[in-house]
Structure 1
Amino acid sequence: MTAAGTAPSPTAPAPAARAARPVRWWRRPWIAPLALVTAVFLVTALPRYVGLDPALSLVPTDRGPAFYPALVTHIFAGSVMLTAGVLQLWPWLRARHPRVHRWSGRTYVAAALVTGVAALVTAQFPSGGAGQQVANTFLAVLLLACTLLGFRAVRQRRFADHREWMVRSAALAFSIVTNRFWGPVLILVYVPGALTDGDVAFGDPRIEGAAVASAWVSWVVNLLLAEWWLHRRKPGPAHRR
């Protein structure tokens, strides 16, 4: 018996070649909407802080001398983090341009660390009381922890662990975007008609309650969805190979 009987067909792609094929865009249809939503968020939120004028801030800034500098740092670094995060989650870029993926990953990690530290500062000056303070502090700590664990895993070449930690980090990072959705929804739940009547403002207990709920829901739901996506199916023997 010759070895030719067991040799793979010359027309069949090798397993390594199949694994190296980039994921087609239609198999990850969420990347374009994610990029669009992120771009809209940055275009609408970032210009208010470019001029460093506290009067243009979306949130009250009379919370001590450390609040506004930390807020601006958080927003600028967060903008870089979200932009790099979109690039990191783009399968085509990761497969076709691994060097760009590595550099955007380093940018994401650096920006996420700065964003998380600044968020720890701003979290101590909540508009919604202790509930919002705890929620934002938890968010900042978890963002820092997941990002550092993901970076440590890739340095140790534990790529599966790296992927999982960075998915969690990205889910937490994009909570600032989903907060723009949950905020108005929860205001309507807590104060029906508030967005049209115009008879409520910062300091209203009902608005504070909606702010606390939004501070929790915006990242908890993201993290739960990330965990579901990571563990939605158990890999079989063929997938492990």
Structure 2
Amino acid sequence: MTSTLDAPPPPTRSRPQRVWWRRPWIAPLMLAAAAFLAFSVPPYLTFDPANSRLEPPPGNDLYYPLLVAHVLFGTVAMTTACFQVWPAFRAKYRRGHRITGRIYVFAGVLPAGVLGLYIGWYTAAGPSVRVANLAGSALWLIVTVAGLRMARQRRYDEHRRWMSRSFALAMSIAFSRVINIASMIALTPRVDSTFGGNEELMRQTATSIGVWLSPLLLLMFADYLLDRRKYGARRPAGRQAPAAAR
């Protein structure tokens, strides 16, 4: 009787690295981010408050300059974030990944998040949007600092999880615009009934839905992808060999 337990295990094959064009989400992600920035940023480059998409509070001369700075730092964060989650760039250009990561944190998230707290506090879109902006900015800062801390402690699996959450929050501003449009379409027929003919209240409600729902959905999606990859990697590659062959 011979036992197959003494036989050497079959050689394991490492999964080949996928080239960037075989990851179908890379190009749409970068195009979506570029389209959003191309639409949102130019009005602020004129440094004219009349072109602002957010109404400056009366008598607050500090609001608009800080809003422009928030937009510019946010642009840095969104641009570098796309390179941070690009697997081919991360694998092939380790030094580039570290450099863009530092830019993302110190010239993107940290200044944009701190300024976002100020901008969120003085928003004219109502108390629900104010709380959502304050909570979103604070959470963005917290998860990014946590990711930076994990990297410095060389806990790279945890670093990846926290920075994936940071990336989700960075992109939530763009996704919220999509939700806002859908909310406006859904709520417009209810202006006279639900909102008593108050269109401004309806727009504030649609904005509130976007700023609350966008980060929540993206955070849930990011954790779902991370968990699927984590537990999928632990699955056995095949069935166990029989104990003995007669």
Task: Please give the range of the TM-score, normalised by the shorter of the 2 chains.
Answer: 0.7 to 0.9
Offset at 1:165? Answer: 0.2
Give the drift of 1:140.
0.4
Asked whether the 8 Å contact 2:183–2:206 carries over to 1, the reply is yes
State the partner residue of 1:220. 216
Higher Cα Rg: structure 1 or 2?
2
In the TM superposition, structure 1's runs of 4+ consecutive aligned residues that sit over 4 Å from their partners are 6-9
In structure 1, runs of 5+ residues without a counterpart are 1-5, 195-199
| SS in structure 2 of the partner of residue 192 of structure 1 | helix
The match for 1:177 is 174
TM-score by length of 1: 0.84
Report the AA paired with residue 226 of structure 1: A
Whether 2:145 is the aligned partner of 1:133: answer no
Q: Deviations over 1:18-70 (max 9, x none)?
A: 47x53333553111100001111111111101121111111212352232122
2:90 aligned with 1:94: yes
Q: Residue deviations 1:92-118, cap 9 Å, x none?
A: 111111111110111111111111001
Asked whether the equivalents of residues 127 and 208 of structure 1 are also in contact (C-alpha less than 8 Å), the reply is no
How far apart, in 2, do the equivalents of 1:69 and 1:7 lie? 68
SS of match in other structure, 2:47: coil
Equivalent in 209, 213, 219 of residue 205 of structure 2: 209
Query: What TM-score does the superposition give when structure 2 sets the normalisation length?
Result: 0.82
Quote the sequence identity (%).
36
C-alpha displacement at 1:237, in angstroms? Answer: 6.5
1:113 counterpart = 2:110: yes
Query: Cα RMSD over matched residues?
Result: 2.6
Letter paired with 1:164: R
Q: 2:234 aligned with 1:236, yes or no? A: yes
Task: Provide the C-alpha distance between the structure 2 equivalents of 1:61 and 1:31, rounded to a whole number of angstroms.
Answer: 36
Matched, 1:50 2:45: yes
Size of the aligned set, in residue pairs, is 222
Q: Structure 2: which 5+ residue stretches go unaligned?
A: 1-6, 192-196, 238-246
SS at match of 1:205: helix
Higher relative contact order structure (alpha carbons within 8 Å, sequence separation ≥ 6): 2
Deviation, 1:7, is 10
